[in-house]
Structure 1
Amino acid sequence: MSSSSPTKAAHEHAVLLNSIADGANQYPKPEHVNYTYGTAGFRTLATKLPSVLFRVGLLAVLRSKRLEGATIGIMVTASHNPEPDNGVKLVDPSGEMLDPSWEPHATTLSNCPSTESLISTFTTLANHLRVDLHQPANIVYARDTRPSGPELIKALETGLRVFGDSVKINDLGVTTTPILHYVVKATNDKTAEYGVPTKEGYNAKMAKAFTTLIGNKGPLAPLYVDCANGVGAVALKDFTDALGDLLPVHPLNTATTTQGALNHMCGADFVKTKQALPPSVHSSGVLSKPGSRACSFDGDADRIVFYYLNEEKANFRLLDGDKIAVMVAMFLVDLVVKAKLDEEHRLKVGVVQTAYANGSSTKYLTSRNIPVTCVSTGVKHLHHAAQRYDIGVYFEANGHGTVLFSDSAIKALKAASPQSPDAANAIKNLLAFSELINQAVGDALSDMLLVEAVLAHRGWGASDWDAGYEDLPNRLVKVEVPDRSIFVATDAERKLTNPPGLQEKIEEVMRKYEMGRSFVRPSGTEDCVRVYAEAKTNSEAENLALAITDLVRFASGQS
């Protein structure tokens, strides 16, 4: 504890609790609202969140002080959700999601019904976690383009400022979720090798690595980018200004100040769930030219999916997270082989998927002896599983993902003595890919460059990439239910243990369809459950999804 006298310490503590009380009184918790810190932090209607933001500020400071002043990140965003929603999540010092053991503390603080209970809970928590409140704390925070952002940031800052001078804050303003994660990781990197902890540092790092990888292969073919009318539009412009004309980018859906435009009929989630072009991209006609390709970010630019129109029939073709993972993993395996590292430093490349991964992608990888791990939905599960490989590729089918290079892999590559120019080039490219990829979190901008670099090296267009395997037809249905908590999943969310008997009925229906596979899981961010179904034909996938949806509705008490 502090070296100050007991009397002074008691006075300082009383002043802190009074400051917390003053702030809490400005942001009382709404009645009849129950908050849960889930996979994506807190997420709900923005009007219900001011008290949560104030309390998240308190928790972030406790976390930083507990970690002896390590910088903690706070991101105010609701990603792909509609504009009236907002949310907040904390980022740990390594750029990863908040340690899961702290999630219940966030939930507990946010649900304190009164100022008195908040102060009591805060004090108990600080003691329980052995937090020295005299320690310094460092916080960096940002928001997306939602109109509710400024008011919520004000509530957050009120929570941070109750601690006075012991907290140093860094407001990144409006930026993407991945850039916030990058800045947190770079700030806490004592070696200063990861990158300069600013937006400009992020752009410079990405531009340098991409330029190295493209070499004399540029300039590349134009790429059309649907920015979901979100913060990705801002980040993309800043980055292309830094990169120059190596990759001609044409941004679409950049109306960040138009009310109601965010994620509306556009963006990665729209494209993935509807399996169709955003109307604005369709009407623009940009994909009618042979060889054209496009991609869509989501609202906070941490997801990306690609797509193009088949030249023969002008059919929409989706290149989602599974397609990205397969292409990237295959390419990295090829580079590792070409690097010809000695037996002691041989690198193992593996892929991590969730149950949403298309069965064809899993089969394609395993048939080529690339190990695949299946985990529960949620970045924290994917990220930790990917860390078990020397090079771990993880992508959710929705387009959220990245590639992790272990510290030992980087050391092996840097220490290698290449036996040929080809091996030297492969090692150089592997190191450049490790710099290009945002290893803190899935990042639409970084992943866009990753895909473009692999396509350039392969000499492929979108149709060449797509030709590797054919997705099984699939459907994803959102089913609103009175109480999603009655649906309990196990086996990486591929099976239900509750409601009793429902899993058996699902499997009975699945057996009626050739290559039929379906699972049901409660959403981590919305009051609904999600039904995934795939089968050999479109009509069978559709019918399987409808049949399972009916089972879910009946099990939840709906006729």
Structure 2
Amino acid sequence: MSGPPVSIRGHFPHKEIEHYSSLHPKARHLQFSYGTAGFRTLGVVLDSVLFRVGVLAALRSKKLDGKTVGVMITASHNPEEDNGVKLVDPRGEMLEAAWEAHATNLANASNEDFSDVLYDFVRDSRIDMSKPSRVVYARDTRPTGESLVKALEDGLKAIGAEGRDAGITTTPVLHYLVRAINTKGTKEEYGEDSEDGYFQKMSEAFRKLVSGRPRIPPLVIDCANGVGAPIAKKLAEYLGETLPFVLYNTDTTTPGGLNNNCGADYVKTQQKPPPSLNGVLQKGQRACSLDGDADRLMYYFIDERNYFLMLDGDKIATLVAAFIVDLVRLAGLAEQVKVGVVQTAYANGASTKYLADKLPVRCTPTGVKHLHHAAEQFNIGVYFEANGHGTVLFSPSTLEKLEKHEPSTPAQSTALRHLNNLTQLVNQTVGDALSDMLLVEVVLAHKAYSAIEWNSLYTDLPNRLVKVHVPNRNAFKTEDAERRLVSPRGLQKKIDDLCKRYDGGRSFVRPSGTEDVVRVYAEAVLRSQADELAFRVAGMVYDEAGGDPHRRPKEYY
């Protein structure tokens, strides 16, 4: 191999890369893709990917003049045998979109070519190898996590990066740490760069926000047998009697327990509480579920008729957004600070209608990066997916306004103080189940709402989600934030015509980002009609795609 051209500054560590790469060979038959959730598949096949992600994270830090980059090893709500990894940019945000393709290319390079492919990437990206490199990393409780951390660390060693192991913690804590490290000592300082700093910041803000309110009754929390369990236990110590927790599904050591018949995704998809809570919940009692890495949140309760009622991401968004709009108005800032909500096509139509009467609502394609970016366009942006992942973003100019605004009445002063405390309570880097949970509890305390009153703000339209296995998901292309099909041609008109037959009928079709599956969503005024519409549309998709005859929708019409 010829020596490096002048365009690469600093030493390119060919020998180190080849040495460590040989310890983590890539299987020839495997192909990987970096998507919204990073890389995600069976944990046992990710060794080579983690090594290469370590290399990429180290180079990303060099490209950003030595700012600390984050790496989180998790598969969130997936089954325990899965694992994954994603990179976090310096402000705690998701990896810059252009680098997703670089991650995919490096992960799929052959063992023989990896060093050359990497060299070309460094040269073409004009990465100065003499710059420092810093990476902070963490993992969830999955059994494959420990070995994957070692592969990641070898990637850091190959580049000579400085690594900081944050241990076993939640995805939101890792995102928090990344921003806290990079803003330390600046006017944008986000908090102390430790797990304790995370707890302290949130708990202090929570105490101030509920001060003087009636005592909050205990909250039942399903921890999904994941990393949210130890973190929730620590948070409980900081909160004390301010908000008592009753924790369930906290076993992180028994094999197969993670996300199994528990957790936010189970509650959302099955529309029932985890079996472990059967007979536990009293009528009207608030309960919530985290997912495996504690970045999703689902609330629910049992009503007087013993019916299960779910308070999902849409319900959280409406509760929180309406509260913030009121505070902004009471603080005398309604003309200066514009609040908006961002949803996806999966948002229940009733929630969109409820919100649209109060503030601007935008719809984006599915995926956190799309919602986060759209929320940044507002002074205060509230975004939540129906699955319970979301947060609130306060723009830098808004933070400055809140800090400098001079209230003219005691009421304005109180509202302004609440808004400033909200900026400390909310984890603005990423959806955070525990931060969002405290935010919900603040609003309920201020409004003196029970779960029943919260749920009664609007009534969800009955809806159904159906999965159709197809030979090629890429045949299905969408537009208008994934709400309309462009291809196959003519299918959208058939769906539109069918929806007109149902009162309040709405349906859309979108391909999965990770598997050969097309997802069909439908809603209508009556449950029976929502179900029927969903399966009729699924049937159209099946007929159009030449679906797998062994996997046709169960209630195919």
TM-score, length-scaled by structure 1: 0.94
| Structure 1 Cα separation of the partners of residues 532 and 266 of structure 2 | 22
Matched residue, 1:434: 423
CA contact (8 A) 1:39 1:525 kept: no
CA RMSD of aligned residues (A): 1.7
| Structure 2 Cα separation of the partners of residues 547 and 270 of structure 1 | 25
1:197-236 counterparts in 2 under 5 A?
197-236=193-232
Matched residue, 2:51: 54
CA contact (8 A) 2:68 2:181 kept: yes
1:121-270 counterparts in 2 under 5 A?
121-164=117-160, 167-189=161-183, 190-191=186-187, 193-270=189-266
Deviation above 4 Å: which 4+ runs of structure 1? 9-12
Deviation at 1:89, TM superposition (A): 0.5
Deviation track 1:98-121 (CA, whole Å, cap 9, x = no partner) reads 00011100010011122x311111
| Structure 1 Cα separation of the partners of residues 486 and 51 of structure 2 | 37
Deviation at 1:411, TM superposition (A): 1.1
| Structure 2 Cα separation of the partners of residues 415 and 11 of structure 1 | 45
> May I ask how many residue pairs the two structures share in their alignment?
542
> 3-state SS of the aligned residue for 2:301?
strand
CA contact (8 A) 2:224 2:258 kept: yes
2:345 to 344, 352, 355: 355
| Structure 2 Cα separation of the partners of residues 89 and 219 of structure 1 | 40
Matched residue, 1:507: 496
> 3-state SS of the aligned residue for 2:175?
helix
Q: What letter corresponds to residue 321 of structure 1 in structure 2?
A: G
Deviation at 1:552, TM superposition (A): 2.2
Matched residue, 2:390: 401
Deviation at 1:413, TM superposition (A): 1.2
Matched residue, 1:332: 324
Distance 1:76 1:271, change over 3 A: same
Deviation at 1:183, TM superposition (A): 0.4
Q: What letter corresponds to residue 252 of structure 2 in structure 1?
A: T
Deviation at 1:276, TM superposition (A): 1.0
Matched residue, 2:62: 65
Deviation at 1:218, TM superposition (A): 4.9
> 3-state SS of the aligned residue for 1:125?
helix
1:465 aligns with 2:462: no
Q: What letter corresponds to residue 544 of structure 1 in structure 2?
A: L
Distance 1:298 1:158, change over 3 A: same
Distance 1:229 1:520, change over 3 A: same
Deviation at 1:192, TM superposition (A): 5.8
Matched residue, 2:102: 105
| Structure 2 Cα separation of the partners of residues 48 and 481 of structure 1 | 25
| Structure 1 Cα separation of the partners of residues 515 and 443 of structure 2 | 35
> 3-state SS of the aligned residue for 1:239?
helix
Q: Percent identity?
A: 54
> 3-state SS of the aligned residue for 2:106?
helix
Deviation at 1:317, TM superposition (A): 0.5
Deviation at 1:487, TM superposition (A): 2.1
Q: What letter corresponds to residue 147 of structure 2 in structure 1?
A: E
Deviation at 1:496, TM superposition (A): 1.8
Distance 1:482 1:255, change over 3 A: farther
Q: What letter corresponds to residue 297 of structure 2 in structure 1?
A: I
1:308 to 295, 301, 310: 301
| Structure 1 Cα separation of the partners of residues 11 and 397 of structure 2 | 46
Q: What letter corresponds to residue 155 of structure 2 in structure 1?
A: G
Deviation track 1:537-558 (CA, whole Å, cap 9, x = no partner) reads 1111111111122222223322
Matched residue, 2:76: 79
Moved more, 42-51 or 27-36: 27-36
Matched residue, 2:367: 378
Deviation at 1:258, TM superposition (A): 1.1
| Structure 1 Cα separation of the partners of residues 349 and 5 of structure 2 | 64
Matched residue, 2:406: 417
CA contact (8 A) 1:228 1:253 kept: yes
Distance 1:162 1:99, change over 3 A: same
Q: What letter corresponds to residue 197 of structure 1 in structure 2?
A: D
Deviation at 1:428, TM superposition (A): 0.3
| Structure 2 Cα separation of the partners of residues 482 and 84 of structure 1 | 25
Deviation track 1:146-165 (CA, whole Å, cap 9, x = no partner) reads 1110111111111111123x
Matched residue, 2:555: none
Distance 1:371 1:152, change over 3 A: same
| Structure 2 Cα separation of the partners of residues 499 and 18 of structure 1 | 50
Deviation track 1:512-551 (CA, whole Å, cap 9, x = no partner) reads 2111111111223444222111111111111111112222
1:92 aligns with 2:89: yes
| Structure 1 Cα separation of the partners of residues 515 and 193 of structure 2 | 33
Distance 1:495 1:319, change over 3 A: same
| Structure 1 Cα separation of the partners of residues 189 and 219 of structure 2 | 31
Distance 1:32 1:509, change over 3 A: farther
> 3-state SS of the aligned residue for 1:34?
coil
CA contact (8 A) 1:73 1:141 kept: yes
Q: What letter corresponds to residue 171 of structure 2 in structure 1?
A: T
> 3-state SS of the aligned residue for 2:134?
strand
Matched residue, 1:39: 36
Matched residue, 1:28: 25
Distance 1:553 1:30, change over 3 A: farther
| Structure 1 Cα separation of the partners of residues 535 and 10 of structure 2 | 64
CA contact (8 A) 1:227 1:297 kept: yes
Deviation track 1:366-395 (CA, whole Å, cap 9, x = no partner) reads 123x10000011111101111111111000
1:490 aligns with 2:479: yes
Moved more, 485-494 or 403-412: 485-494
Q: What letter corresponds to residue 441 of structure 1 in structure 2?
A: V
Distance 1:526 1:224, change over 3 A: farther
Deviation at 1:12, TM superposition (A): 4.3
Q: What letter corresponds to residue 459 of structure 1 in structure 2?
A: A
| Gap regions ≥5 residues in structure 2 | 550-557
Deviation track 1:480-527 (CA, whole Å, cap 9, x = no partner) reads 333322222221011122233332232232222111111111223444
| Structure 2 Cα separation of the partners of residues 533 and 458 of structure 1 | 33
CA contact (8 A) 1:228 1:264 kept: yes
Q: What letter corresponds to residue 495 of structure 2 in structure 1?
A: I
Deviation track 1:241-266 (CA, whole Å, cap 9, x = no partner) reads 12211101001111111111111111
| Structure 1 Cα separation of the partners of residues 527 and 441 of structure 2 | 30
> 3-state SS of the aligned residue for 1:425?
helix
1:322 to 307, 314, 323: 314
Q: What letter corresponds to residue 27 of structure 1 in structure 2?
A: H
> 3-state SS of the aligned residue for 2:242?
coil
| Structure 2 Cα separation of the partners of residues 150 and 342 of structure 1 | 50
| Structure 2 Cα separation of the partners of residues 415 and 244 of structure 1 | 33
